Amino acid sequence: MATIGELLPAAVERLRASGSESARLDAELLLAHALGIDRSGLLAHPELPVGPEAADRFADGLRRREAGEPVAYVRGLKEFHALAFAVDARALIPRPETELLVDLALAEVADRLGRAPRPPGTPPLAIADVGTGCGAIAVAVAVALRRRGMLGEVEIVASDASEEAAQLARENAVAHAVADRVAVVTADLLPPAGRPAGLLVVPDRFDLVCANLPYIPSAVVPTLPVAASFEPREALDGGPDGLEVIRRLIEELPGRLAPGGAALLEIGSEQGGALHAAAAEALPGWDVRVEPDLAGHPRVAVLAAPA
């Protein structure tokens, strides 16, 4: 019976030969998943034997990864904002850079809730998560607000054009016990006001709109790493310049964002100038800024409506 330390080197070489840019990490994650332990336990105990069933699961995972399938789909989960999300081919895999959008959303909510007393009967803050995918943004925001004792002050409506993605988001909301405050609906961008949404009703206007919509230019999509070919193309392809869907959402904002509200839109690292131009045309008088990610690249556009 082979040990962890004996199986890993050969697996790393196989994945490296198949073109993986993170062969060691991939192999470690797949073996930890096959064994039902976390990666730290795997690294701490290279002498542990790997039984036949676990070895078979590991071999199957290696074959799938060699074919280009993302490790997250093989494992069926992806860590995001310190939470584990169920993921599969129904939706895009959440990326680390999107955590910035969650952090900005939490700061916005804390600021709005702290501006003035909120006596009983004060309507909750209405938040939209447009293009929710697996529900990562909506659920991460809800879980973080629950930890801070603020979840009862907000209602989140998450939407996706894909019913399959919306169902995955519902599953993640239930798994993290926030389905009473996170409603998921199928809709193209913002759902119609007054529509029933789980235990909630879609409001006329939102105080905060979050969106990680497709922003990769169509011509670039085929050049992405092979792993991206396993993800839904409609969750990646943003049209000729990557901003086609984002522009459509921007055009909806004047009628759906409350006075003084804000929209947080994730964009590509080279789209800051084009986003400013699109916002200036569609949203005269609005404050527009772009927040950089940890690498210093433009990442989240913040569009603030006049009060």
Q: Residue 119 pLDDT > 90, yes or no?
A: no
Predicted TM-score (pTM) of the model is 0.94
Q: Examine residue 79 and state whether it is found in any structural domain, yes or no.
A: no
On the question of pLDDT at 252 being above 90, the answer is yes
Average pLDDT of every residue of the chain: 96
Same domain for 34 and 100, yes or no, is: no
Does residue 76 lie in a domain region? no
pLDDT of 121 > 90? The answer is no
Domain end: 37, 67, 97, which one? 67
Looking at the fold, whether 185 and 277 belong to one and the same domain comes out as yes
Residues 21 and 94 in one domain: no
Q: Are residues 151 and 238 both part of a single domain?
A: yes
- The answer on 93 and 45 residing in a single domain is no
pLDDT attached to residue 117: 84
pLDDT above 90: residue 187: yes
Task: Indicate whether 25 and 132 sit together in one domain.
Answer: no
Is a pLDDT exceeding 90 seen at residue 194? Answer: yes
Q: Evaluate if residue 118 carries a pLDDT over 90.
A: no
What's the number of domains the chain is made of?
2
Strands of 154-160's sheet, edge to edge?
Answer: 182-186, 154-160, 125-130, 206-211, 257-266, 298-304, 287-292
Owning domain of residue 29: 4-67
Instruction: Give me the long-range contacts of 6-12 (CB less than 8 A, separation at least 24).
Output: 7/31, 7/50, 7/55, 7/58, 8/46, 11/58, 11/62
Q: What is the 3-state secondary structure (H, E, C) of the chain?
A: CCEHHHHHHHHHHHHHHCCCCCHHHHHHHHHHHHHCCCHHHHHHCCCCECCHHHHHHHHHHHHHHHCCCCHHHHHCEEEECCEEEECCCCCCCCCHHHHHHHHHHHHHHHHHHHCCCCCCCCCCEEEEEECCCCCHHHHHHHHHHHHCCCHHHEEEEEEECCHHHHHHHHHHHHHCCCCCCEEEEECCCCCCCCCEECCEECCCCEEEEEECCCCECCCCHHHCCHHHHHCCHHHCECCCCCCHHHHHHHHHHHHHEEEEEEEEEECCCCCHHHHHHHHHHHCCCCEEEEEECCCCCEEEEEEECCC
84 falls within a domain? no
The mean pLDDT value for 46-64 works out to 95
Average pLDDT over residues 65-80: 97
pLDDT digits (tens, 9 = 90+) for 220-238: 999 999 999 999 999 999 9
214 and 300 fall within a common domain: yes
- pLDDT-derived band at 120 (thresholds 50, 70, 90) equals confident
Residue closest to 268 by CA, chosen among 149, 137, 97 = 97
115, pLDDT greater than 90: no
Choose between 133 and 45: higher pLDDT. Answer: 133
**What's the pLDDT at 163?**
97
Is 51 inside any structural domain? yes
Looking up residue 244, the CATH number of its domain turns out to be: 3.40.50.150
Please report the pLDDT score of residue 249 as a whole number: 98
- pLDDT given for residue 286 in this prediction: 97
| pLDDT at 68 > cutoff 90 | yes
1 pLDDT tier (thresholds 50, 70, 90):
confident
Domain identity same for 179 and 257: yes
List pLDDT tens digits, range 134-162: 999 999 999 999 999 999 999 999 999 99
Same domain, 179 and 271: yes
What per-residue confidence (pLDDT) applies to 282? 96
Tally Cβ neighbours within 10 Å of residue 307. Answer: 7
Same structural domain for residues 62 and 98? no
Residue 72 maps to a domain: no
The answer on pLDDT for 198 being more than 90 is no
Same domain, 43 and 103: no
30 located within any domain? yes
pLDDT-derived band at 239 (thresholds 50, 70, 90) equals very high
